[in-house]
Amino acid sequence: MTMELELLDLLTDLRGVMQDPRYHPERDALYHSLQTFQLAHRATDDRQLWATALLHDVGKAFAPREHERAGARALEGLVAPRVVWLVEHHLDLLRHPRRTRRRYRGDPRLRDLELLRRWDLGGRDPRARVLSPRAAIAILMRDPHSLQAERLTVETDAREGQR
């Protein structure tokens, strides 16, 4: 299966996954993810942040209680390590804001987590107009190399061993 189809499957599995209306008045996890993606897409040119915004909740389809870890595991080897890390840690600022800010002070990942948190909170409009999942994935796939997991070649491994 291609990366595009794997990502589309992970994303569309969120259709009908209902979230607590106290925190998610938009309810449907797919609808929320598409809103979060659109906010990121408007705010930055960073395709890995777009991917993170779109895919941050994919784990809710199969592991609602630990969706961030489950989602990261599902994305491992499929997308860039930065996207996987951000998906796994996207709730850190919610759960442990002081500790997270202290731990990542001066680290560019803190800025990424802050942006993701802002878009995650903003993607909760029950009346928002969103792209289709296929259209959102198509936007990501315009430059698939920027999203892919880094794969070492045998040649690179051999050079590393000579050092």
Q: How far is CA 47 from CA 23, 27, 54, 87, in A?
A: 27, 26, 10, 14
Give the side-chain half-sphere CA count within 13 A for 112.
Answer: 23
Q: What is the CATH number of the domain that holds 39?
A: 1.10.3210.10
What is the pTM for the complete model shown?
A: 0.89
Find the domain containing 103 and state its range. Answer: 3-162
Contact 81, 100 (CB under 8 A): no
Q: Count structural domains, the chain.
A: 1
- Looking at residue 95, its pLDDT comes to 96
pLDDT tens, N- to C-terminus, the chain (163 residues) = 899 999 999 999 999 998 878 878 888 999 999 999 999 999 999 999 999 999 999 999 999 889 999 999 999 999 999 999 999 999 999 999 999 999 999 999 999 999 999 999 999 999 999 999 999 999 999 999 999 876 433 333 433 444 4
